């Protein structure tokens, strides 16, 4: 298919969504309580919120997601490398991670609130868990399945300690990147959910306040902004990966 | 010596490994509560959590919560994965439909399922319908994408050979396409079940009156940390059980497909 055709189809799909949305909201319209606002009502609400709290909520959500993602990723790569390369670490840590992985990070939200109170860390800690468990599994997998010939070549070239580390890290990099990208997507889910429960700031809190006042347009603003941010984060990650590691083809699919 | 020890280690990702991990965690946890003298509201000792668990099981409240969550999981998963498999096949087999559906799937994939929770609470209240909506939405995309990839990934030579041998229509679909695509479809369903379980808990955090998610948030607002941890363990054990069940089902249904740990 030529690229022009794809764009036309994409636009047609968007137009269909907007038309369907409008028709549904007309069909379900009730004069007393607006349960299904039209696209332009949501756009107007977004413009109103942009003048008051939307900016602050976006900043709060991004700070939680990004901070938690970075901390979890660093921890995940370190522990994953240990599990992948050191037998003792594998013996001790792998069963523990196997068990904890079954308790979804999202089930930790109430405990995080008890431990950290309602604030930045009660949400960021959930993202740390999400990011850590995803990255640790992928890193351990990548580090333990290094090509035997690569390892042999490294030995015969008498590489130094730091160079050997680089070889190991770079051959595990495709797996690590897959984990990092997945964690980035999952982090948005974690941010919304923990803000729904421990809501003081952020887009999840925006939605909860909207729900409490039956302001469906405000909830939809939150949903749209979250989707756009998630999309932008995904695109940004792919662009960065292509720039930094142009030889890695994993992850290129949207 | 490391090789000898490793032979005793259960396969990674298996239930046996998780059970071993539970034992190790219990030891660390118990040691931490004894040595650090933590207050029970921060971290109760394992015995207190066990008592809480037994208490809830005996009074029957745990059974109600588990049954509620499982019921929501069942319906949400059924609705979401049925729609997902159908649209995955449609995407893969009809190029025209794909041109229209693919941008939609690509767009809505980024709408976080949990961001729907406040919306369904306003729309449907605390009823089952709202939970089914969220859970089905969470399942739908992963099933659709994996099913479409599975059907598209079938070796065209196999299809040609089947047609040449006179197979067509429903027979082709059931006896050639489905067995060839099933391993990847099952992978999608496996992931979807895990997502579905998480979103059941998530949907119960906000606006519900029973279920495991409600149990732990309710215990949290009453500062009953032992109850929170007991609920988390139940969630984890059930999640583990689903994973084991699906892996067993996979071995029965598609013995010809390889499986991998991590």
Whether residue B118 and residue A208 make contact (CB cut-off 8 A), yes or no, is yes
Among A residues 186-215, those touching chain B with beta carbons less than 8 Å apart: 188-189, 192-193, 196-197, 203-204, 207-208, 210-211, 214
| Distance between start and end Cα atoms, chain B | 22
Strand (E) or helix (H) holding A39: helix A39-51
Rounded Cα distance, A127 and A76, in Å: 12
Contact A110, B224 (CB under 8 A): no
Tell the CATH topology of B49-253.
MetI-like fold (1.10.3720)
pLDDT value for A61:
94
Closest to B201 (Cα-Cα) out of B187, B216, B190? B216
| Phi and psi, residue B71, nearest 5° | -65, -45
Taken in order A216, A217, A220, A222, the sign of the CA dihedral is: negative
Residues of A in contact with B100 (CB under 8 A): 9, 12-13, 16
Structure tokens at B145: 């994408």
- The tokens for A15 are 């137009």
Closest CA to A43 of A65, A18, A64, A13: A18
pLDDT at A153 over 80: yes
Q: What is the pLDDT of residue A229?
A: 93
Q: Summarize pLDDT for A94-141 with one digit per residue, the tens.
A: 888 888 888 889 999 999 999 998 889 999 999 999 999 999 999 988
pLDDT of residue B258: 62
Give the domain ranges of chain A.
1-36, 37-244
Report domain extents, chain B: 49-253
Span A54-89, pLDDT tens digits: 999 999 999 999 999 999 999 999 999 898 888 888
Supply the DSSP symbol for B113. G
- Fold classification of A37-244 (topology level): MetI-like fold (1.10.3720)
Mean pLDDT calculated for residue range A150-179: 85
How many residues in chain A? 254
Collect all residues of chain A within an 8 Å Cβ-Cβ radius of residue B96: none
Q: How far is CA B145 from CA A240, B68, B148, B197, in A?
A: 25, 29, 5, 19
pLDDT digits (tens, 9 = 90+) for B162-183: 888 887 778 888 888 888 888 8
Could you give the CA distance from residue A85 to residue A79 in angstroms, rounded to a whole number?
Answer: 10
For residue B137, the model assigns a pLDDT of 94
SS (H, E, C) B42-76: CCCCHHHHHHHHHHHHHHCHHHHHHHHHHHHHHHH
> How would residue B1 be classed by pLDDT, with cut points 50, 70 and 90?
very low
Q: How far apart are CA B151 and CA B92, in angstroms?
A: 6
Among A residues 56-85, those touching chain B with beta carbons less than 8 Å apart: none
pLDDT band at residue B9, thresholds of 50, 70 and 90? low
A35–B contact, CB cutoff 8 A: yes
Round to whole Å and give the CA distance between A221 and A49.
9
User: To the nearest whole angstrom, how far is the Cα of A99 from the nearest Cα of chain B?
Assistant: 4
Q: Do B114 and A96 touch (CB under 8 A)?
A: no
Out of B121, B202, B232, closest to residue A211 by CB: B121
pLDDT digits (tens, 9 = 90+) for B85-144: 999 988 888 887 887 788 888 888 888 899 999 999 988 888 899 999 999 999 999 999
With CA atoms as reference, the chain B residue closest to A37 would be B119
HEC secondary structure over B18-29: HHHHHHHHHHHH
Of B55, B50, B82, the C-alpha closest to B189 is B82
Sign of the torsion formed by the C-alpha atoms of A68, A70, A71 and A76:
positive
User: For residue B46, which of B16, B60, B18, B25 has the smallest C-alpha distance?
Assistant: B25
**Residue A103 has what DSSP assignment?**
S
pLDDT of residue A1: 42
Would you state the structure tokens that stand for residue B162, as one six-digit string? 């089947």
Backbone angles phi, psi at A117, to 5 degrees: 75, 175
């Amino acid at each position: 298919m030529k690229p022009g055709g794809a764009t036309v189809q994409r636009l047609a799909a968007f137009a269909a969504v907007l038309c369907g949305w409008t028709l549904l909201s007309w069909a379900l319209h009730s004069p007393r309580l607006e349960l299904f606002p039209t696209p332009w009502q949501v756009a107007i609400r977004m413009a109103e919120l942009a003048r008051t709290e939307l900016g602050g909520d976006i900043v709060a959500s991004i700070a939680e997601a990004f901070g938690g993602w970075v901390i979890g990723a660093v921890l995940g790569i370190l522990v994953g490398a240990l599990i992948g390369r050191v037998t003792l670490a594998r013996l001790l840590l792998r069963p523990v991670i196997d068990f904890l992985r079954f308790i979804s990070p999202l089930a930790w939200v109430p405990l995080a609130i008890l431990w950290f109170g309602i604030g930045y860390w009660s949400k960021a800690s959930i993202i740390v868990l999400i990011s850590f468990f995803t990255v640790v599994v992928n890193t351990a997998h990548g580090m333990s399945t290094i090509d035997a010939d690569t390892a042999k070549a490294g030995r015969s070239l008498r590489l130094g300690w730091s160079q050997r580390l680089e070889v190991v890290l770079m051959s595990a990099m495709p797996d690590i990147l897959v984990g990092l990208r997945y964690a980035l997507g999952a982090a948005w889910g974690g941010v919304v959910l923990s803000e729904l429960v421990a809501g003081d700031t952020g887009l999840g809190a925006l939605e909860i306040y909207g729900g409490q006042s039956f302001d469906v347009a405000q909830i939809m603003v939150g949903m749209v902004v979250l989707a756009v941010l998630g999309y932008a984060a995904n695109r940004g990650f792919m662009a960065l990966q292509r720039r930094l590691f142009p030889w890695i083809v994993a992850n290129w699919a949207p | 010596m490391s090789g000898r020890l490793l032979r005793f280690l259960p396969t990674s990702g298996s239930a046996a490994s998780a059970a071993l991990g539970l034992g190790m965690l219990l030891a660390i946890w118990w040691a931490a509560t004894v040595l650090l003298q933590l207050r029970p509201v921060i971290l109760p000792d394992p015995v207190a959590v066990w008592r809480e668990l037994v208490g809830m099981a005996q009074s029957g409240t745990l059974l109600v919560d588990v049954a509620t969550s499982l019921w929501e999981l069942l319906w949400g998963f059924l609705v979401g994965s049925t729609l997902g498999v159908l649209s995955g096949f449609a995407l893969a087999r009809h190029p025209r439909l794909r041109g229209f559906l693919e941008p939609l799937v690509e767009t809505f994939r980024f709408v976080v399922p949990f961001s729907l929770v406040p919306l369904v609470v306003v729309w449907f209240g605390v009823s089952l319908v709202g939970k089914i909506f969220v859970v089905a939405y969470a399942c739908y995309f992963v099933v659709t994408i994996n099913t479409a990839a599975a059907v598209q990934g079938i070796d065209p030579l196999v299809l040609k050979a089947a047609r040449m041998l006179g197979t067509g229509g429903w027979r082709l679909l059931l006896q050639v396409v489905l067995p060839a695509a099933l391993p990847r479809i099952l992978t999608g369903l496996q992931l979807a079940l895990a997502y579905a379980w998480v979103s059941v808990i998530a949907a119960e955090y906000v606006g519900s009156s029973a279920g495991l998610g409600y149990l732990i948030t309710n215990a949290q607002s009453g500062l009953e940390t032992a109850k929170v941890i007991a609920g988390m363990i139940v969630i984890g054990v059930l999640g583990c059980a689903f994973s084991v069940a699906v892996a067993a089902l996979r071995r029965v249904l598609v013995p010809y497909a390889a499986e991998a740990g991590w």
